[in-house]
Structure 1
Amino acid sequence: MSSPKSRAQSSSVQVPPDYITGTGIDKHAIENTLVLGPHWFGSIPVEMADLFKDDAEAPLCFESSSALASHSWVSKNLSRSFPSSEVRNSPVKWADWIDRLLPWFGAHWKRVGIYDVILLSKQSINRDENLLAASLCFWNSASNTFDFRVGSMSPTLLDMAQIFEFRPHGRPVDAIGDYHRRKNQEKLSKPFTVSLAVINQNCSFSNYMRKFSVEKDKDQQHMLFLLYWLNRFVFPNRSSAVLLEYRHLAEALHNHTDVGLGPTILAHLFKNLHTATLDDPNLAASLFPGTKVSRYSSA
């Protein structure tokens, strides 16, 4: 009996499965022994087809000639979409910074709803890249769901609130900080006054902690602490550095207790899931010749 691979190679024309309509997925699975990813028991309803057209391409870990090609995809896409939060060779420990500020701001963290998640950041969590990669094979960016045979599953705002205590509603996260600058709007009692140039000069995680964990002004140190926490643990970035785009959010978390973090954090999670699975249309086109390039391709 010929092997699944030899049967696939013997085909005169290799036609990739259509992950929008469901055509050919079962045949592809049989010929290649195993396929991880969305599986449709029949075609998608006509009224849903348009929703899935642009974002329902197969994840980048698939190849048309083999069941799974995750080795290079994991190291490239996964590491840049979910960067490590480890800080090596730093003389200042993050846990120590938390412990120093806890007597001053612990009660405030509880009112804001970030107390437990800040303390959780003291624990080291090892990322299982292979397990994460396997789960992402089921991710569908068209609906922001994991499409399993038992049905669709997805993290929700209530999950953010129940697991991490991030508020699902409240004061919106404002990237430019104009919520406290407009006429007749409340003013911040403690605005960010640390030089932005100095922060940029010390933006690496290790330099940042060394420079700002000893800030004498407790209010400014707390906002610097929150800015570091947001960049390293809540919204990690590919550069593994402290970015100023979350400065106004750090201000808001220091001055207010009703900031609705949940929607923004969930949106960031969805964005990273999309980046890890679909954000390289050129690679997707090479894996599935003839597939349409996503609208997210760069010019």
Structure 2
Amino acid sequence: MVKEEEEEESETLVDERKDYMLPFIGGKPTLRTARFLKPSVKSIHEAAQVPVFSKTLGYEKLVKCPSKVFFRGWRHPMKKWKQWVDLLLPLYKPLWEQIGIYESIMSSTSEIRRDSSLFFGLAELWCPETNTFIFPWGEATMTLEDMLILGGFSVLGKPVCSPLESRELEEIEEEMIEEHRRVGSGKSKKAAHQAWMNHFMESGSKLEHMAFLSLWLSRYVFPAFPFDTTRKGVFLIAINLARGTQMALAPAVLATLYRDLRFLKEQVMGKIGDSDSNSGMPITLGAPLQLMQLWAWERFPILQPKLNNLQSCEPISTRWHKSSSKLKLESVRMTMNSANSFQWRPYAPFVENCQSHLFYREKEEWVSNGSSLDKELQSFARFLRVCELVGLDCIEQYLPHRVAMQFGMDQDLPGDVPRVNVNSEVAWETYDKPTREAKLYIPSRHFESDVTTRYFEWRKRSMSGRQDAVKDIFEKKKNSEVPKRVPQKSNGNHKESYGSAPPGFHCKYNKVELQDSSDEDALTISDMSRLRRKQVSPGKEAASSAKPSSGTQSQSIASLITKSDVVRKRNSSMLGTESAMEMDNERKLRSRVLNPLSTNDYKEGEKSRGTTQVPGLELEARICRLEILIAGLKAKVGSKVERKPTRDGPSPT
């Protein structure tokens, strides 16, 4: 019994053991000592469910028509808000720093301008089952570390649903409610943000500080319906903060982000995917989703706009004040498809000002854990623990062991974690359970994490599952006719059915759109057939195109295949040595691309125009290499290059 208690006391969040490790993008395995987040397993059969990468259609419509989504929690600074912050700063800055809200309050004075393409390009990769972004190369997510660094929210403290602990504080709450009723007695019948600020700012009232915190919470932290009004539900938090009680705002804010991304995903899958672009009710989101855009800018440097100079001790969000980036959705997708574009630990090298934290160390170290541990290291321990996040009106699961490389740890197979969100009290116990760890491992900020060989295989399964879906759809299309447009009546409205499709595909009219992502943009099979017809068509289609110079097209195709060789070698290092069958299929694919269809083939293709069949191509080779080759062809053929036409039409390629 005593031995079991000793083992329980020595339990740690980090599991240290020797294992065969290799870089995330692939390479030669090496045996070394590695550190993994718990729970991790050593068998693929015991691991958590493999997330299958798939895109959801409909986000393109939201980018073109952003009025379909209302970002009620994405708030810009109010008029005179910074003035009110500057008035109270000399009086309450020490208190704000003590309870961990100083950086968040200062961040509320920054204006983060929304980039719709960046936001929706990232949101379409959200997986509600794991609360992670499922990229083609792996998983990543917003964590408690991001809430602390980007948002300035405290990880430690009491839950946001904590009641007031004395009669004196309850009386203050009653006074706040009475003031709320007085401000809302005008024509609007609600305590609007601007009216609330005008009522309390420089009033000399003993409630001014609590009123200030209530407005900050209602507008920039926990916006709720009706929007633009001061929320009575935050009075408890504001009173506790004003009295010096630290509140755990970081898990509550992160829970609202997870909740709204799940809601957006469900709405897009259920409504915006209709053929009618105007169908579906508008989507209203209340979380401070500007934090997700900041997360994307920090993690994908190539997508960053111009940075502002950061002064000493300013919040990190100040770097993005009024910065804007005008990106295209296709560019965002291509960038996010590459693992080399992603920064696993963007904050670790950031040590030139006071934002450097104690958990970003020069050398790795095991430190003694317990109640005497520094608050920043206690926060770091919370980053690593699997738990439930308690918000004001939601509970979400937090799974950092799936993204261990974001904390400087090595990645192993993540274990399955059951939900325990019975109520907020039970959920909070998973977050704030007593610390039993004897030691806490702090990695070096220069350490480059690796993955185990079994995790590498486990991750490949998500890609193979997607490839199986591609095989199924191509096999069905080979043996069936083009799905017919069958109008259906539903509540007096006509809808069109185009047949069913597996996850990642959308059957529409006479083509199958492959919503797949590799190192290049996706391209439909019908587009590929059209590109080939352009190479040899002697009819109107060829005559309408400009004449290329002799040998230009074949040279460009050869250069693309050379480029594909480079990509293939890189992918080969990631996915292992290719079999002889795969190599043979790829040689067939090259031969088909370098040798355009003959005139007879073209005529036969004209008879069956509208189908997705491309005879002669092996399915396996098409799945593994087609996206890269054809995307390059589309870029070359579709580019606007000036060419000289002749009377006889274009010369043969």
Select the residue among 150, 153, 157 that pairs with 2:140.
Answer: 153
1:81–1:146 Cα change, 3 Å: farther
What is the alpha-carbon distance in structure 2 between the residues aligned to residue 128 and residue 279 of structure 1? 20
Q: Displacement, 1:162?
A: 3.3
Q: Displacement, 1:209?
A: 1.4
1:190–1:261 Cα change, 3 Å: farther
AA matched with 1:247: F
Q: Displacement, 1:282?
A: 4.6
Q: Displacement, 1:99?
A: 0.8
Contact 2:183–2:190 (8 Å) recurs in 1: yes
Contact 2:155–2:251 (8 Å) recurs in 1: yes
AA matched with 1:197: R
1:225 aligns with 2:222: no
Map of 1:171 onto structure 2: 158
Select the residue among 247, 254, 274 that pairs with 1:259.
Answer: 247
Compare CA radii of gyration and give the structure with the larger one.
2
1:203-223 alpha-carbon deviations (Å, 9 max, x no partner): 2222121112133224x1111
Q: Displacement, 1:246?
A: 1.1
Matched residue pairs, number?
228
1:197 aligns with 2:181: yes
Q: Displacement, 1:94?
A: 0.2
1:241–1:129 Cα change, 3 Å: farther
Q: After alignment, is 119-128 or 96-105 more displaced?
A: 119-128
1:29-88 alpha-carbon deviations (Å, 9 max, x no partner): xxxxxxxxxxxxxxx989866x98xxx9964625xxxxx4334663213x246444354x
Select the residue among 61, 73, 76 that pairs with 1:85.
Answer: 76
1:290–1:85 Cα change, 3 Å: farther
When normalised by structure 1's length, the TM-score is: 0.64
Contact 1:169–1:260 (8 Å) recurs in 2: yes
1:248 aligns with 2:232: no
Q: Kindly indicate whether structure 1 or structure 2 has the higher relative contact order, using CA contacts under 8 Å at least 6 residues apart.
A: 1
AA matched with 1:111: Q
Map of 2:585 onto structure 1: none
1:82–1:260 Cα change, 3 Å: closer
Map of 1:206 onto structure 2: 194
What is the alpha-carbon distance in structure 2 between the residues aligned to residue 155 and residue 132 of structure 1? 14
Q: Counterpart of 1:146 in 2: which secondary structure?
A: strand
- Percent identity for Structure 1 against Structure 2: 26
1:139 aligns with 2:130: no
Q: Displacement, 1:133?
A: 1.4
Q: How does 1:7-18 map to 2 (within 5 A)?
A: none
Map of 1:278 onto structure 2: 266
Map of 1:41 onto structure 2: none
What is the alpha-carbon distance in structure 2 between the residues aligned to residue 225 and residue 105 of structure 1? 11
1:83–1:241 Cα change, 3 Å: farther
1:75–1:277 Cα change, 3 Å: farther
When normalised by structure 2's length, the TM-score is: 0.31
What is the alpha-carbon distance in structure 2 between the residues aligned to residue 241 and residue 187 of structure 1? 26
What is the alpha-carbon distance in structure 2 between the residues aligned to residue 57 and residue 46 of structure 1? 24
1:138-157 alpha-carbon deviations (Å, 9 max, x no partner): 11112111111221111112
Q: Displacement, 1:107?
A: 0.8
Map of 2:323 onto structure 1: none
What is the alpha-carbon distance in structure 2 between the residues aligned to residue 135 and residue 81 of structure 1? 19
What is the alpha-carbon distance in structure 2 between the residues aligned to residue 150 and residue 290 of structure 1? 27
Unpaired runs of 5+ residues, structure 2, are: 1-43, 276-496, 502-653
What is the alpha-carbon distance in structure 1 between the residues aligned to residue 196 and residue 57 of structure 2? 36
What is the alpha-carbon distance in structure 2 between the residues aligned to residue 45 and residue 276 of structure 1? 32
AA matched with 2:86: D
What is the alpha-carbon distance in structure 2 between the residues aligned to residue 204 and residue 142 of structure 1? 37
AA matched with 2:62: S
Q: Displacement, 1:248?
A: 0.8
Map of 1:61 onto structure 2: 58
1:271–1:73 Cα change, 3 Å: farther
What is the alpha-carbon distance in structure 2 between the residues aligned to residue 46 and residue 81 of structure 1? 41
User: Counting strand residues as a fraction of each chain, which structure ranks higher?
Assistant: 2
1:104 aligns with 2:91: yes
Contact 1:190–1:255 (8 Å) recurs in 2: no
Q: Counterpart of 1:160 in 2: which secondary structure?
A: helix
AA matched with 2:181: A
Map of 2:511 onto structure 1: none
What is the alpha-carbon distance in structure 1 between the residues aligned to residue 229 and residue 76 of structure 2? 10
Q: Counterpart of 1:211 in 2: which secondary structure?
A: helix
Q: Displacement, 1:275?
A: 2.5
Contact 2:76–2:111 (8 Å) recurs in 1: no
Q: CA-atom RMSD, angstroms? A: 3.4
Q: Counterpart of 1:191 in 2: which secondary structure?
A: helix
What is the alpha-carbon distance in structure 2 between the residues aligned to residue 60 and residue 86 of structure 1? 33
AA matched with 1:61: G
What is the alpha-carbon distance in structure 1 between the residues aligned to residue 228 and residue 117 of structure 2? 22
What is the alpha-carbon distance in structure 2 between the residues aligned to residue 191 and residue 276 of structure 1? 38
AA matched with 1:76: K
What is the alpha-carbon distance in structure 1 between the residues aligned to residue 202 and residue 500 of structure 2? 57
Unpaired runs of 5+ residues, structure 1, are: 1-43, 63-67, 292-299
1:121 aligns with 2:108: yes
What is the alpha-carbon distance in structure 1 between the residues aligned to residue 76 and residue 234 of structure 2? 17
Q: Displacement, 1:199?
A: 4.3
